[in-house]
Amino acid sequence: MFQSAVTALDERRLAVIDRRYSGDSGGGLLKAPAFLCQNGRHHVSGTDHRKWLGSVQGLGPGQETGEALHPDLATVKELQEVDRTIADLTSRIEAIPSQIKKIEDQLNAFLHSHEEHKSRLAANQKERRNLDTEIQTIRGKISKHRDQLYEVKTNEAYRTMLHEIEGEEAKIRAIEDQVLERMVEADELDGLVHEAAARLEGEKQRVAAEKRQLETERANDEGLRRDAEARRQLLADALSESTLRLYEKTRKSRGTAVVQVIDGSCGGCHVKLRPQFYNEVRSSDALLACESCGRILFYVPPSVGEDIGEGTRVAM
């Protein structure tokens, strides 16, 4: 039962790691871990070895079968992977609230804009009514002036009255221009209000569905993180105290605690290993740390068909 639980965790963890590194063009997950010792060899006691065999061996993938491999190495490599998985899950979980806030803000902006268009449309209609009233008032004046035209006694007074009527008619034309502008604006606003009203319910439902989706993802990630933390505990318990201490210390100071040796150089600080030390890393059953940066080193022999130059001994 435990075995299958661990296997399921491994699969989910790999899926998370796949997601994390998809699209990552550089600096991705190191192909293989490394092991280190701070200042030289890290010998494992028989007790440690038995503990490791009893607790971790056969529990999951990642176990090295290379000859004379330090028993802590596979465990500390996996521990690093599990820690990365936990860190990824944590950053995903912590990002959820801001993602939810973002879509809520988008919906609120949509609703706010909709309300603003509606109130501008209402104001527009009120302005048009006021302008219409103004026009009616002026028309009343003009009508009165026209009646007065018949009553004036002099040409001078007649011309003055006509001039006044023309002035009022000009005012009406100016107001009618304003009415026209309001009508154009009302057409636009009306279109926006209708379009938004038609989308409103759909938008609300979409945002609610997205929020539910994010909440589900958070719950899933929290479950995965609990599994990973349980696995972490198991791995940490399986490590010798000195290796665990070294791992934690290096992880804290360097970020990455376990790195692969690539072309004879430390995969963390890229400093070339001394030839003798390089040979020890490749063949020793000791857990070795980079002499430059202190990261735990591991070596992956080239597979069959690859350039065997990497696998040949360095002459000393």
3-state secondary structure of 69: coil
- Of 189 and 257, nearer to Zn ion (C-beta) is 257
Q: How many helices (H) and strands (E) does the chain have?
A: 6, 3
Minimum CB separation of residue 277 from Zn ion in Å reads: 11
Q: What is the DSSP letter of 306?
A: S
Minimum CB separation of residue 6 from Zn ion in Å reads: 31
- Of 139 and 270, nearer to Zn ion (C-beta) is 270
Minimum CB separation of residue 268 from Zn ion in Å reads: 4
- Of 207 and 269, nearer to Zn ion (C-beta) is 269
What φ, ψ does residue 258 adopt, rounded to 5°? -125, 120
Q: How far is CA 246 from the centre of its chain?
A: 32
- Of 59 and 293, nearer to Zn ion (C-beta) is 293
d(CA 195, CA 149): 53
- β-bridge partners, 259: 297
- Of 6 and 288, nearer to Zn ion (C-beta) is 288
Residue 34 within binding range of Zn ion, rule CB under 5 A: no
- Of 220 and 292, nearer to Zn ion (C-beta) is 292
CB 268 within 8 Å of CB 104: no
Region of 305 (left: φ > 0; alpha: ψ -120 to 50; beta: rest) is left
Dump the DSSP string for 246-277: HHHHHHHHHS--EEEEETTEETTT-PBPPHHH
Task: Looking at residues 244 to 303 of the shown chain, list those that interact with Zn ion (rule: CB under 5 A).
Answer: 266, 268-269, 290, 292-293
Minimum CB separation of residue 254 from Zn ion in Å reads: 8
Minimum CB separation of residue 269 from Zn ion in Å reads: 3
Binding pattern to Zn ion, positions 211-250, x when CB under 5 A? ----------------------------------------
d(CA 248, CA 232): 12
Minimum CB separation of residue 45 from Zn ion in Å reads: 26
Q: Which of 229, 191, 236, 300 is nearest to 75 (CA)?
A: 236
Q: How far is CA 286 from CA 52, 163, 215, in A?
A: 15, 111, 46
Minimum CB separation of residue 265 from Zn ion in Å reads: 8
CB 161 within 8 Å of CB 146: no
Q: Report residue 214 as tokens.
A: 């994010």
- Of 35 and 52, nearer to Zn ion (C-beta) is 35
Minimum CB separation of residue 88 from Zn ion in Å reads: 24
- Of 242 and 292, nearer to Zn ion (C-beta) is 292
Binding pattern to Zn ion, positions 131-160, x when CB under 5 A? ------------------------------
Q: With CB under 5 A as the rule, give the number of residues binding Zn ion.
A: 6
- Of 73 and 224, nearer to Zn ion (C-beta) is 73
Minimum CB separation of residue 276 from Zn ion in Å reads: 16
Q: Report residue 190 as tokens.
A: 């009306």
CB 182 within 8 Å of CB 128: yes
d(CA 312, CA 302): 10
Which residues contribute to the site for Zn ion (CB under 5 A)? 266, 268-269, 290, 292-293
